[in-house]
Chains A and B, each alone.
Chain A
Amino acid sequence: MVRQRTFHPENVHEESILAPIYKISSKDLLLWSGLLIILGVGAYAYFQQLISGLGVTGMNRPIYWGVYITNFVFFIGLAHSGTFISAILRLAGAEWRKPLTRAAEAITLFSLPFAVASIVADMGRPELVLNMVIYGRFQSPLIWDITAVSLYMFSSVVFFYLSLLPDIALIRDRITGIPKWQHRMYEILSLGWQGRSQQYHRLEKVLDWMAIFMTMLVVTVHTVVSWVFGMTIQPGWHTALIGPFFLLGAIYSGTAAVVIVLAILRRVYQMEEALPIDLFNSLRKLLIVFSLGWIYMMIAEFLTIFYGNIPEEMEVFWQKFTGDFSVIFWGMTILVFIIPLFILIVKGKNNIRWMVIAGVLINIGMWLERYVVIVPTETRPRLLYELAQGVYRPTWVEWAITLALFAGMILLYAIFTRFFPIIPLWETAESLEEDEQKVATRRQRIFGQRIQSRIKKEHDHANQ
């Protein structure tokens, strides 16, 4: 096969960005096998559940939904990090986002399968999952969910893969000393990418258009997820704010997750130069805005309920504020809002360690937030909440499966970073020239993006 000439962007950080791909260390294997063991325990727990039934969980009547559905909402939330950063910030023309787009999008890509897995784990008869396709009724919010999440997953894969293409081609040509199968994999995946400026032009154009589409998805997907709750008439769920509130929480926890992932990548793969501290400072500002947005939503939601004083709503309200869930509720408020806001404003600037602490707290808090939205409502059913039968204690099966889902996500992420550059080389490159003479060309700006214009270039040549 005659290889066509290919061109690759110049990037000063190329060496450090590609460094993780060369070797899988024993530490990697240790981490991977550790995660695999957790996955194994989770698989065993799920097997138990499959054999005996959902009775092995702590769920009961009226708490029909518990940790699994919490996980589902949380994973969808995490997934919003990537699309928010790569799509919305792309449209907004925030140039600083470039080094972290792929790291963020990878979170999206590797969370979504586990969101779907959470739903399947919660089903009484997972073997009949195809009924949703065969007999699917579009009046059901669950079918909206399935549609939204699968569309989201599909588009994320395409979006992610497209922006990965030039980099796969680059490692195909640059990296030597890797096993043959790995090289073959890059060859197939790169789809014969040559790095012509025309190709970059098309790629940027496609990514820009997809970014518009993805932005709409970011907003709709999580809103639709919340509607599974919002469309019922249960107190605490049936509120128009639930959609925007879920969305904001999703972007908040997603962005916090990006901080954690970036800090780990920077430390473990020595990418201090490719991932400068400015990135963290920019994310810090975003997080401050989101945390304030979060408290705004909280107050808007609970003041409305409190002032309205509708009896069945107040049952759930007091469950959260002073009842069985008060520890989780106030703990959540402290973890999501009070401590992180303090850290971010006072300590976070130029300090990655504090940022990571804030990020971890936000994510734990957001998981609790999902839990505290879902479960307290169920403990006080609309009819006869006086009977108050609802007590829910998750069992080891639920925790094992939850841990396994997180382990699975981390595992996929960790493996990915050993096979593909986690920082986009072409997007952070100084130039995307195809000419070996490296003649600088004019660039057009669309949506704040650099787009190489061949026409412009030829026009310039003609003028000379």
Chain B
Amino acid sequence: MTKWSMVIDLDKCVACQGCSMACRFENNTPVVSPDEAALGRSIFWNDVFPLRSEEESAIASGQAKFLTRPCMHCEDPPCTKVCPVGATYQDTEGIVRQNYTRCIGCRLCTVACPYGVRYFNWYEPTWEESLERHLTPDQIEGRAVSEGPSIRPKGVVEKCTFCVHRLFKERDRAAAEEREFRTEDFVPACVQTCTAKSRYFGDLDNPNSTVSQLAQSRRAFRLLEEAGTHPKIIYLHEG
């Protein structure tokens, strides 16, 4: 069985926020006004922020430590456990997904997630006109299903999906080309775009994959390991 996982090498990361931008365009993330953002309502499936409220000077001089944070895609996710309607769930390949059609907007998952990776649509999503014309067409829509980059209605929760629509697309492509699907075919937008090549993606169940190899590194750690969520995002310490 495939177990999708990501390794983020903090030593290589330059905190350029390219991953956040790529994610935003890939997944049609709604844009909010500066006022709303000041209220804490901006949506970043993949966020980049300085660790421990560093002073401005530390950030300017390049001394600050940064962390980039997508969804942890926990093996034991606290969010899917509490969802009353099964709108958020873990699929067979370990990706924690979100079905906007079923979500009732109770926000129990958002308060249950210790990593704060789940975002709520406080208003109907809007984009500036030029952005609206260039929304990603790879939307997952079906009977009672709308996931990934699909346009969200107001009042639902959304989150990082490891760009699951890309996985679907690559599987379809492999089938069309009448060849086996290879795990290397599937890469989320943030990994693809990473300027410093600090992100690796692959199958954690395959002992020969890059992520499995890097997970053995002495620099490897996971966020809030003590919370018992078993994240599948593996960080590599700086230095």
- The segment out of A163-171, A201-209, A378-386, A400-408 that lies at the interface is A378-386
The B interface is mostly helix, strand or loop, or mixed, namely loop
Q: Which residues of B contact A228 (CB under 8 A)?
A: 108
Given A123-B106, A142-B106, the answer on whether A382 and B155 have CB atoms closer than 8 Å is no
Q: Which residues of B, 94-142, contact A by the 8 Å Cβ criterion? A: 102-108, 110-112, 114-116, 119-124
Q: Are B105 and A61 in touch, CB under 8 angstroms?
A: no
Q: Which residues of B contact A381 (CB under 8 A)?
A: 114, 116
Partner of B116, one of A55, A61, A135: A61
Interface string of A88-130 (1 = CB under 8 A from B): 0000000000000000000000000000000100111110110
Given A53-B123, A388-B53, A389-B40, the answer on whether A132 and B115 have CB atoms closer than 8 Å is no
Total contacting residues, chain A, CB less than 8 A: 48
Q: Does A399 contact B (CB under 8 A)?
A: no
- Name the residue on A nearest B50 (C-beta): A387
Q: Does A136 contact B (CB under 8 A)?
A: yes
Q: Does B3 contact A (CB under 8 A)?
A: no
Q: Are A55 and B36 in touch, CB under 8 angstroms?
A: yes
Q: Are B78 and A135 in touch, CB under 8 angstroms?
A: no
Q: Which residues of A contact B67 (CB under 8 A)?
A: 384
- Name the residue on B nearest A232 (C-beta): B112
Q: Does B197 contact A (CB under 8 A)?
A: no
Q: How far is the CA of A202 from the CA of B83 in the complex (A)?
A: 44
Q: Does A233 contact B (CB under 8 A)?
A: yes
Q: How far is the CA of A231 from the CA of B83 in the complex (A)?
A: 12
CB distance from A143 to the nearest CB of B (A): 5
Interface string of A389-430 (1 = CB under 8 A from B): 111000000000000000000000000000000000000000
Q: Does A248 contact B (CB under 8 A)?
A: no
Partner of A131, one of B85, B124, B228: B85
Q: How far is the CA of A276 from the CA of B211 in the complex (A)?
A: 76
Q: Are A135 and B111 in touch, CB under 8 angstroms?
A: no
Q: Which residues of A contact B227 (CB under 8 A)?
A: 233, 382
Q: Does A54 contact B (CB under 8 A)?
A: yes
Q: Does A285 contact B (CB under 8 A)?
A: no
CB distance from A69 to the nearest CB of B (A): 9
Q: Are A233 and B119 in touch, CB under 8 angstroms?
A: no
Q: Are B111 and A234 in touch, CB under 8 angstroms?
A: yes
**Total A-B pairs, Cβ < 8 A:** 147
- Name the residue on A nearest B110 (C-beta): A64
CB distance from B71 to the nearest CB of A (A): 12
Q: Are A384 and B116 in touch, CB under 8 angstroms?
A: yes
Q: Which residues of A, 48-106, contact B by the 8 Å Cβ criterion? A: 52-55, 58-65
Q: Which residues of B contact A378 (CB under 8 A)?
A: 111
Partner of A231, one of B49, B82, B122, B156: B82
Q: Does A141 contact B (CB under 8 A)?
A: yes
Q: Which residues of B contact A4 (CB under 8 A)?
A: none
Q: Does A463 contact B (CB under 8 A)?
A: no
Q: Are B114 and A382 in touch, CB under 8 angstroms?
A: yes
Q: Does B223 contact A (CB under 8 A)?
A: yes
Q: Does A304 contact B (CB under 8 A)?
A: no
- Name the residue on A nearest B114 (C-beta): A382
- Name the residue on B nearest A144 (C-beta): B84
- Name the residue on A nearest B41 (C-beta): A60
CB distance from A372 to the nearest CB of B (A): 16
Q: Are B106 and A122 in touch, CB under 8 angstroms?
A: yes
Q: Which residues of B contact A141 (CB under 8 A)?
A: 82, 108
CB distance from A320 to the nearest CB of B (A): 18
Most B-side CB within 10 Å, residue of A54, A378, A381: A54
Q: Which residues of B contact A389 (CB under 8 A)?
A: 40
Q: Are A123 and B84 in touch, CB under 8 angstroms?
A: no
Q: Are B85 and A135 in touch, CB under 8 angstroms?
A: yes
Most A-side CB within 10 Å, residue of B41, B82, B227: B82
Q: Which residues of B contact A131 (CB under 8 A)?
A: 84-85, 87, 102, 104
Q: How far is the CA of A53 from the CA of B83 in the complex (A)?
A: 21
Interface string of A136-159 (1 = CB under 8 A from B): 110111110010000000000000
CB distance from A380 to the nearest CB of B (A): 11
Partner of B84, one of A61, A124, A136: A136
Given A54-B120, A55-B123, A140-B84, the answer on whether A123 and B104 have CB atoms closer than 8 Å is yes
Given A125-B104, A389-B40, the answer on whether A136 and B122 have CB atoms closer than 8 Å is no
Q: Are A52 and B123 in touch, CB under 8 angstroms?
A: yes
Q: How far is the CA of A387 from the CA of B64 in the complex (A)?
A: 14
Given A60-B40, A61-B119, A124-B121, the answer on whether A384 and B49 have CB atoms closer than 8 Å is yes
User: Interface residues, chain B, CB within 8 Å of chain A?
Assistant: 36, 39-41, 49, 51-53, 67, 78, 81-87, 102-108, 110-112, 114-116, 119-124, 153-157, 223-224, 227-228
A-B contact pairs, 18 of them (CB 8 A): A53-B123, A55-B36, A58-B39, A59-B122, A61-B41, A61-B120, A123-B105, A123-B155, A124-B107, A124-B155, A129-B104, A136-B85, A137-B86, A140-B83, A140-B84, A141-B82, A142-B84, A378-B111
